[in-house]
Amino acid sequence: MVHVRLCWLTQSHTHSHSVYRWSRKVYNAHYMSLGYPSNVEFTLQGLNYQNKLVARGPKRLAGRYHQLKTGHCRTRQYLKWTKNSDTAECGWCLYRTQTREHLFKNCDRWRMQQKIMWAEIRKKTGRGKNRFTIRGMFADKRCTGAVLDFLRTTRVGARTGPPDPGGEREEGDTQSP
């Protein structure tokens, strides 16, 4: 039997076991009417699963990880889009646009950490950085450990990112870039 998970209704949203059983019956009937084969059963269990490696780590690191995963992270491209920065230029290497792709693959400031991360990812998955999109890398659970190690050793996505183009630093930023 094939199990397919529904993404928007979890068991925690149901108030009792009978509601849970009823909702499974309704969704199975609905998807059967759409032409899915009879061996497909739609389940509602385990949908709010968070990667255990991320959950066991420090809260700030987990926050950075999830922000980078969803794309709502402190990159200059995102900050410019939210009108919190005047430029999208990378503050560490002066590349024209600081994106997740740039920070994880091409930024000169984090070149050594990138090599270590991508070597570990290649060892676990058999695919290198040119065979992964950033979205695909975050979606593959085998890459989580390498990404977390990269985030631990860099300031990618952290509050104290690169210095502002005007030379002013954020309050409390005492490290040099």
Q: How far apart are CA 26 and CA 81, in angstroms?
A: 42
Q: Could you tell me the CA-to-CA distances from 96 to 14, 58, 93, 130 in Å, in that order?
A: 48, 32, 9, 20
Closest CA to 162 of 108, 81, 101, 117: 108
Q: How far apart are CA 175 and CA 58, in angstroms?
A: 21
Report pTM.
0.65
Q: Chunked in runs of 10, what are the mean pLDDT values of the chain (177 residues)?
A: 49 54 65 56 48 87 94 92 93 94 96 97 94 92 95 90 57 46
